[in-house]
Structure 1
Amino acid sequence: MSSSTHDPMNAPLYIGLMSGTSLDSIDAVAVRFEPAFELLACHSEPIPAAIHAATLTLFNPGDNEIERLGRLDLELAELFATAVENLIQLNAFEHQQIAAIGSHGQTIRHRPEAHFTLQIGDPNLIAERTGITTIGDFRRRDMAAGGQGAPLVPAFHNALFRHPEHNRVLVNIGGMANLTILEAAGDKPVLGYDTGPGNVLMDSWIMQHKSESYDRDGRWAATGKVLPALLEKLLALPYFSEAPPKSTGREQFNCDWIAQMVASLDSQPQPEDVQATLLELTAVSIADAIKSHQLKDLQVFLCGGGSHNSLLKTRLTQLLKPHSLSTTAELSLDPDWVEAAAFAWLAYRTLKRMSGNVPEVTGAAGYRPLGAIYWG
């Protein structure tokens, strides 16, 4: 179906798929970009326990990795295709309305220092199952151009959220946390990078001690107290003081790292005190990064799963005063769907042979179209 700026109902739709570090679900959105951005529908596809467990085991080196990766690559692709089909059926879309699917895939390794990143969930299979052109493997072209391959969402944030009169920061708190700096001055470049852990350490710790997938509203963290000695050790990690461009992942922020830091203390702490300290680590690392840019009259908007953690939001509000803090709901986009919408936008850009990265963010040698196209 061809696009039309005169009749928005004739404009093609794009589907974005996002499976993040937290592995809580697959986010699927249907959007259109012509004549203006519009979120039309969204769907959250649960990740079955067996696939969740298999993915977790691949985050760290282990036996028989290639065989397990090959099987999981296909299992995840089937699940991504199911998410697309459910989104289409639940909203009575027609397949021919969809110009393309933008699938981020599931990150298994992100090693920018070694110049490689790996996302699985075979786009060939998604295209085959749905009959819709699918675009995936967004990160490696940026890496080929000397970039970090991440974060990629700042380009979308800039397209959708930049304001001519207000300095803004978008903070995505998923498994990792990343921010986008959008200065009001139009000649200022977009900046963005991973600040460090978002939910990943808190999720891992509560799973280990209470068999819960996440700490709703920070309730467990609220029962503990921040341990200054542990927080100091955590913040001493060189990553926090490195200059951008930079990106990170579970390779650095994981249970083993927490265990090493906790074991180095003079006495063993209560688990809830560690949880409180991990929440404080996320809040302080985000706030310190934002404050380092010394912007005035700043509007801070949260998105991602961490935007629902009321204790984390309270701490960020306190740490960022006098700047205002809210979520992207204030900008007419639900914080749960921003990342999936970003990969729909990246698919839209790729089909139009336009760039999807921001060199000032990733460190790439220049603007590049991102992703590989698997025709439907």
Structure 2
Amino acid sequence: MRLLHTKTLKLHEFFGTSIPPYTILSHTWDEGEVSFQELQSGSGESKAGYDKIRGCCEIAASDGFEYAWVDTCCIDKTSSAELSEAINSMYSWYRTSDVCYVYLADVLPNLDAKARDEAIRKSRWFTRGWTLQELIAPSSVIFYDSRWHELGTKESLEILISDITKIDGAVLRDADKIESFSVAQRMSWASTRVTTRVEDIAYCLLGIFGVHMPMLYGEGDHAFVRLQEEIMRTTADHSIFAWTREGSLHGLLAHTPAWFRRSGDIVCSQSHVLTDDSFSVTNKGIHLYLPTRPTATPDLCLAVLSCHKIDKNMTNLGIYLQRQSEYCDIFKRSPSDSLGEVESATILELNKENIFVKQDPLPIKVPSYDRFIVSMKGVPNSEFAFGGVTPRF
């Protein structure tokens, strides 16, 4: 782990138990951020982002810390191996920091309490994917405005932050409490957040779910599918399927956290009505063994999940599945803007089925071009002539 010396702004590398106490910066990236190479060479001192690094280090030094960590310059992003290791370690680094400084570049100084809270509420920092774990993981968080004036702490601003993010105050007070919240609830916290790169909306959630996976930039939405598959290896939480979306038939796994936007009140059922609530990924698709209830539509059934809404603990939720052919155990998820409901007391009366749902391959987004240049090297000009273009534009 590389750390900045708060007085010299020079980088030092530490390993394992030799890592000293350190502060850590949380911010949103803007133009002119200073990279690892630019900090090393000294060329970054003229860039706009250098002032942010210096401000962080000055606050850290005044708080008695010798070292600080800033993501823009403490990671060599030209090394894919180092970047992958850093992303998989990020939650842990924020968790073990002594204090996290949140720099809100769009919150002006010298505002009264009402204007301050409104400015915080509108800050871009609360819309970014990466800042979710940066808010939850550290035990101590201090917020600063654009001039590095203190705005408050995670503790003093808890009610406001919880209202903005919809994150339960128990998690804000103690990150270890996150394990008691369902997959659907945690996904809902990320449902309105965005990242610059499509894949990062998955990678920024690794620590939230306590999983690890390699970075494959270029895989697009498949990164989020991979994230869910990793989560499924660590939990039998059915709420991972408790999302809603209209559209066409598809698999059981969501393409984006946005599909969990309405799932913030869904929790795991504590009853033992569903005696086998495990699931697995097979070559036929995701396998579940669930009670099903027929519907009025042929080959459409409601599969009962082991989860419910917080205020309806005697009513299990279910997902609508379309059987792909008669007497077949292969299903597709039917599009719906709502989840089905089944009274828990009636579940034992339903038949249980082996269900396999294959995840459709996601389309690869290929850039489109309006023109191409073809270069033919080593061909004598006298032997060829331009004959035309097909199709014509």
Identify the structure with the greater helix proportion. Answer: 1
Q: State which structure, 1 or 2, has the greater radius of gyration over its C-alpha atoms.
A: 2
* TM-score in terms of structure 2 length: 0.25
* TM-score in terms of structure 1 length: 0.26
